Amino acid sequence: MQAWRGKERSMAALHGTYEEGFKLLPAYCEQIKKTNPGSIASIVATGQENSFQRLFVSFRAAIYGFINACRPLLELDRVNLKGKYLGTLFCAAAIDADDALFPLAVAIVDVESDENWMWFMSELRKLLGVNTDAMPRLTILSERTMGMAEAVETHFPNAFHGFCLRYISENFRDTFKNSKLVNIFWNAVYALTTAEFESKISEMVQISEDVLPWFHHFNPQLWALAYFEGVRYGHFTLTVTELLYNWALECHELPIVQMVEHIRHQLSSWFNDRRNLGMRLTSILVPSAEKRIAEAISDSHCYKVLRANEVEFEIVSTERTNIVDISTRVCSCRRWQLYGLPCAHAAAALISCGQNAHLFAEHCFTVHSYRETYSQMIYSIPDKSMWKENGEGIEGGGAKVEITIRPPKTRRPPGRPKKKVLRMESLKRPKRVVQCGRCHMLGHSQKKCTLPM
């Protein structure tokens, strides 16, 4: 306990106490809005004591980048915080042109609840509200818990809300515990057409008829590529989850203001690094898109192209025939529409009529779009010793902040967290089954995967 108290005093001397962090929140939010005009930083307190309940932060640079250049795709997730007053960190993140994560908004709430999810999505709706008419329909990915699904349905009724495939696949694997079924399941996930999907379902039913009730519970329209109406651009799992766990691990001993500052520092560093990277790029498309187009062009040489008219082509192979319309950017295999980049069939058609396949990718994959995403800056916040001098202190100044936020009533229980007792039978773990990180098939690793890149 003496060592623990010494560590706590050292952390308090370095970063301030948890209680001071909550008191500084109103002034800190004013600083965010002053140094980054157009940003959103709002606090909600509850009760007569003004106990902390919710904090929402979104920087103007992130709002501008998402609305003007990112794909209309959002990931939602949360992570539980392990600090003195516990709480939950919410995040809504987009994906930039080069497939990197682009956090749009974060929130810290006292507890994860349906009410807090409804509030978070309401704030997100306000953030995007002024530009809703100009934006295409959003695709939102999450674990679709009851609170998430209801909040998205209420505030984004026109959005396509799909399951995270990691959550779905783990549920399927835990339910059936059959590696052959899991492999067929992933083939069904990646099936581009309904005919291919139904064929895989038939294979699974032949192995186990218990699959059908599972599919009634997890509607394929919410996750299967063949049925899902939204555009995932090849993103099937939540990449924001790992980021949230890293933030929770790095910030769990910091007061709330220091926690948000840590997140702001990381976002600012990402923006600067990616802005510099964008200025060095000389191609039409970002590197990840260039690689996929090059693969499509390489695969296109094995097809025979028959031209029907100015814009329609018939692409013949040994397996099947596909129809490509370059005016509407549609291929009957559906890969062009679902991924936003010309497939091998489309590349064959475009090359045959002298067109550059790179120019037929969606605008969100261009270097120009990438530069626009990170064109704005996230500015630093002055040291808290200067806040009162700038008229933003809790007491005094032109923009006086009268409210004093107190810590939430939820606290971590005292003492060392209890550990589970290890028993001999629990040490006899089943043999670990290797799962490929690229094709998600069981039985081999990503290094030994034979799936074409």
Of 189, 177, 236, 234, the C-alpha closest to 215 is 189
- Where does the pLDDT of residue 15 fall: very low under 50, low under 70, confident under 90, or very high at 90 and above? low
Any domain includes 177: no
CB 324 within 8 Å of CB 313 = yes
34-38, 141-145, 357-361, 438-442: the lowest-pLDDT one:
438-442
In terms of domains, do 248 and 347 share one? no
pLDDT over threshold 60, residue 259: yes
Bigger pLDDT: 405 vs 88:
88
- Where does the pLDDT of residue 14 fall: very low under 50, low under 70, confident under 90, or very high at 90 and above? low
In terms of domains, do 407 and 357 share one? no
Distance between CA atoms of residues 16 and 19, nearest Å: 8
pLDDT over threshold 90, residue 76: yes
User: Mean pLDDT across the chain, nearest whole number?
Assistant: 84
pLDDT over threshold 80, residue 418: no
Any domain includes 206: no
Distance between CA atoms of residues 332 and 315, nearest Å: 10
Distance between CA atoms of residues 314 and 196, nearest Å: 20
Any domain includes 214: no
Q: So what's the pLDDT on residue 430?
A: 41
Q: So what's the pLDDT on residue 253?
A: 79
Residue range of the domain that includes 142: 18-164+238-280+378-413
Percent of the chain at pLDDT > 90 equals 46
Output the six-digit token pair for 433: 């089954």
Of 22, 13, 8, the C-alpha closest to 260 is 22
Distance between CA atoms of residues 239 and 93, nearest Å: 9
pLDDT over threshold 90, residue 293: yes
In terms of domains, do 86 and 101 share one? yes
pLDDT over threshold 70, residue 11: no
Q: In what order do the strands lie in the sheet with 40-46?
A: 40-46, 51-58, 101-109, 88-95, 73-80, 139-142, 160-163
Q: So what's the pLDDT on residue 48?
A: 80
* pTM, two decimal places: 0.83
- Per-residue pLDDT of 198-227, as tens digits, reads 999 999 999 888 888 998 888 899 988 889
Bigger pLDDT: 144 vs 397:
144
In terms of domains, do 39 and 65 share one? yes
Stated as kind and residue range, the H or E segment containing 375 is: none
* Number of Cβ atoms within 10 Å of the Cβ of 11: 16
Q: So what's the pLDDT on residue 426?
A: 41
- Where does the pLDDT of residue 6 fall: very low under 50, low under 70, confident under 90, or very high at 90 and above? low
In terms of domains, do 142 and 242 share one? yes
Q: So what's the pLDDT on residue 411?
A: 65
Distance between CA atoms of residues 359 and 322, nearest Å: 21
pLDDT over threshold 60, residue 392: no
Plot region of 112 (φ>0 → left; ψ -120 to 50 → alpha; else → beta) = beta
DSSP 382-426: PPGGGTTTTT-SSSSSTT------B--S--PPSSPPP-PPP-HHH
Any domain includes 59: yes
In terms of domains, do 267 and 301 share one? no
Q: So what's the pLDDT on residue 394?
A: 36
In terms of domains, do 335 and 398 share one? no
Which whole number is the average pLDDT over 250-258?
86
Q: How far is CA 441 from the centre of its chain?
A: 23
**Number of domains the chain contains:** 2
Which whole number is the average pLDDT over 19-34?
89
In terms of domains, do 383 and 409 share one? yes
Bigger pLDDT: 278 vs 129:
278
**DSSP-assigned letter for residue 333:** T
- Per-residue pLDDT of 123-164, as tens digits, reads 999 988 754 555 678 999 999 888 999 999 999 998 999 998
pLDDT over threshold 90, residue 412: no
Which whole number is the average pLDDT over 333-356?
92
In terms of domains, do 360 and 389 share one? no
Q: How far is CA 388 from the centre of its chain?
A: 37
**DSSP-assigned letter for residue 283:** S
In terms of domains, do 22 and 137 share one? yes
Any domain includes 389: yes
pLDDT over threshold 70, residue 304: yes
Which whole number is the average pLDDT over 66-90?
90
Percent of the chain at pLDDT > 70 equals 85
pLDDT over threshold 50, residue 362: yes
Q: Where are the beta strands (DSSP E) in 245-309?
A: 304-307
CB 369 within 8 Å of CB 71 = no
In terms of domains, do 256 and 395 share one? yes
- Per-residue pLDDT of 82-121, as tens digits, reads 878 888 999 999 999 999 999 999 999 999 999 999 999 9
In terms of domains, do 27 and 88 share one? yes
**Exposure letters 94-130 (e unless 16+ CB within 10 A, then b):** bbbbbbbbbbbbbbbbbebeeebbbbbbebbeebbee
Any domain includes 115: yes
Which whole number is the average pLDDT over 294-318?
90
Any domain includes 230: no
CB 182 within 8 Å of CB 169 = yes
CB neighbours of 50 closer than 8 A, spacing ≥ 6? 403, 404, 405, 406
Any domain includes 127: yes
- Where does the pLDDT of residue 180 fall: very low under 50, low under 70, confident under 90, or very high at 90 and above? confident
Which whole number is the average pLDDT over 40-67?
91
Supply the angle between the helices 179-190 and 165-176 in degrees, to the nearest 10. 150
- Where does the pLDDT of residue 332 fall: very low under 50, low under 70, confident under 90, or very high at 90 and above? very high
- Residue that terminates a domain, selected from 365, 397, 429: 365
Bigger pLDDT: 436 vs 42:
42
